[in-house]
Amino acid sequence: MNTPDIRSRRWNGWGEQDIDVPLSAHAAELFAERIGPATVPNDVAMDTVLAAVPASRLPAHALVTTDAEQRLRHSRGESFPDWIAKRHGQIDSFPDGVAYPESNEQVRELLDWAKQQGVAVIPWGGGTSVVGHLTPEAKGKPVLSLDMSRMNQLLALDEMSMLATIQGGAPGPLIEQQLKDRGYVLGHLPQSWEYSTIGGWAATRSSGQQSYRYGRIEQLFAGGRVETPTGSWEIPTIPATGAGTDPREMFLGTEGRVGVITEVKARVQKAPAFEAFYGVFFPTWQQGEAAVREVAQQRLDVSLLRLSNENETVSHLALAGRPGEIKWLKRYLALRGIKDGMCYMLFGLTGEKARCMRVKREVMAVLKRHGGVNTGTVFGKAWAEKRFKGAYIRNGMWDAGYGIDTFETALDWNKVEPYMRDVQNRAEQVFAQFGEKALVFAHLSHVYRQGSTVYTSCIFSLADSPEETLARWQAFKKVVSDCIVEYGGTMSHQHGVGRDHKPWLAAEKGGELGLQGIRALVNSFDPDEVMNPEILVD
């Protein structure tokens, strides 16, 4: 059977094979100074891993391929343990086959077949999960990876209701291009936008970089169609309801446990006429945080608010690779009273230009009161041009001997700074126990009236062996996850639960009683454990 050509993407890293973002000399110098020397890893070749792919356990089906390379490419996502497994050839489980359905009917056929044959099904969107959704472990069952990439079209556009019907396998660029041709935009822009799909966004309660304007996926998801093991589920589009539990909320965030999203009815907007992003520097974190909090609580009409802490600001300036320009910037900021401890903020304006200029004046008045210094759109333009290329730096870091992992949460405002400081210290301490240093920094990526996300990154040296690298990561993951629970934050603001966050899920769901409710929901749609077994709950 014909299958999509996925060979242009890296099988063991992020993105397209012909796009390289190597570690710059300035970044290498910074990492050597702050983290220490690194050993370049010895990655295995694809042919070596392909030779280890076992025979398929699936009975023949016309829609299923058992090709070894297809199975390898669908064996893991993009989490840090996934990278260790792929880079070192330590993949211990593979899907037994891959299917590329082209219609609701074919999805229905495959689910009925899987249920009859005792096969587990893992829905596959763009393969971008960073928390372990895609590992084919199913209590000994054969596993089918259901790749939705052929179901990627805009099916209908109701311009009066501003609702678009989009197939679940449509990735970000294809969605926006099809809507742009009609004068509309969805505006959901996670960093994985180039590959992640609208079905995956709904399944993991995704948030885009400009969700401040367009809304998180739960605000964009108006209804749709889900094929479950027990039948087809049509979720109607109703503007608002007072009639019991909302079926949209029953489904959002179920991470492939109840079924496959074949269609999403999404709320869209007219394409904006104007957009710009502005960079502002603050003397201290406290002033920057107070400024973004006031912008959010006054409900000023920005499309983006991001605030980097001191470590991230210094690191990003060093990673920019333009030392001459950065030197002059620091001199200018020093004249304005901003020196050590400075924090960088990015805010965006999107919409009708005259209105955006009015909002800009209102926002700048707030920021100025808190000591902010506007540096115009230079930094904002650079960010917008590279906003989806940031993930590629993972490849360059790994090739130079460094690993990077991120973790994010959302907390009430009174907990934001104490948590940010504490989790950074704990992350550094856990690596110190291994005799290592780590570079840890954070930013606020999504700001609300009640509180904010804290998105933290940790860069560290890879160990001499993959087993040691994994052991360090596991210790690090436990420490930071325990810290999130201690401060009452969510285990995931935008990445989902998967396998990596599952041990800490009960804390934010109200304990075992909350998990029982999730189990009851899962069991009602999938009593035979066909769909992505053991994700969310056992």
**pTM, rounded to two decimals:** 0.95
Helices (H), 221-352: 247-251, 285-297, 310-319, 323-335
Phi-psi region of 498 (alpha: psi -120 to 50; beta: other; left: phi over 0): left
Strand order in the sheet with 221-228: 154-158, 163-167, 260-267, 221-228, 231-235
SS3 for 44? coil
Do 275 and 210 meet the contact criterion of CB atoms below 8 Å apart? no
Residue 339 CA, distance from chain mean position: 33
Distance CA(219)–CA(240), nearest Å, equals 11
385 Cβ neighbours under 8 A, 6+ residues apart: none
Distance CA(242)–CA(402), nearest Å, equals 52
- Encode burial over 440-467: b for 16+ CB neighbours within 10 A, e otherwise: bbbbbbbbeeebbbbbbbbbbbbbeebe
Do 271 and 183 meet the contact criterion of CB atoms below 8 Å apart? yes
CA-wise closest residue to 99 among 55, 61, 131, 73: 61
SS3 for 315? helix
Structure tokens that stand for 427 in this block: 């992350």
Q: What is the β-pairing status of strands 304-308 and 274-282?
A: unpaired
Distance CA(536)–CA(186), nearest Å, equals 28
What is the structure's pLDDT at 3? 45
Neighbours of 396 (CB within 10 A): 17
Structure tokens that stand for 494 in this block: 């935008």
- 427 — phi, psi (to 5°)? -65, -45
Neighbours of 129 (CB within 10 A): 28
Neighbours of 309 (CB within 10 A): 25
Helices (H), 205-352: 211-214, 217-220, 247-251, 285-297, 310-319, 323-335
What is the structure's pLDDT at 320? 72
Nearest-5° Cα angle at 269, 151 to 354: 145
* Radius of gyration of the CA atoms of the chain, in A: 23
Instruction: Return the DSSP state at 56.
Output: P
Do 202 and 261 meet the contact criterion of CB atoms below 8 Å apart? yes
Nearest-5° Cα angle at 511, 506 to 512: 95
**N-to-C CA span, the chain:** 35
Polymer length in residues for the chain: 538
* CA distances to 129, 261, 316 from 172, in Å: 15, 16, 26
Structure tokens that stand for 347 in this block: 């805010």
Distance CA(257)–CA(467), nearest Å, equals 30
SS3 for 433? coil
CA-wise closest residue to 400 among 317, 320, 460: 460
Do 345 and 302 meet the contact criterion of CB atoms below 8 Å apart? no
Q: What are the tens digits of pLDDT across the range 271-329?
A: 999 999 999 999 999 999 999 999 999 999 999 999 999 999 988 887 776 777 888 88
Instruction: Return the DSSP state at 275.
Output: E
Phi-psi region of 131 (alpha: psi -120 to 50; beta: other; left: phi over 0): alpha
Q: In terms of C-beta density within 10 A (0-12 exposed, 13-18 middle, 19 or more buried), how is residue 509 classed?
A: middle
CA-wise closest residue to 54 among 73, 41, 38, 71: 71
Q: What is the β-pairing status of strands 373-374 and 269-270?
A: unpaired
What is the structure's pLDDT at 94? 97
Which residues sit opposite 294 in a β-bridge?
none
Neighbours of 402 (CB within 10 A): 25
What is the structure's pLDDT at 26? 83
| Residue ranges, the chain, pLDDT below 70 | 1-7, 321
What is the structure's pLDDT at 17? 92
CA-wise closest residue to 184 among 235, 234, 238, 220: 220
Residue type, position 22, single letter: P
* CA distances to 22, 83, 276, 408, 441 from 313, in Å: 20, 27, 21, 18, 9
- 16 — phi, psi (to 5°)? -75, 145
What is the structure's pLDDT at 327? 85
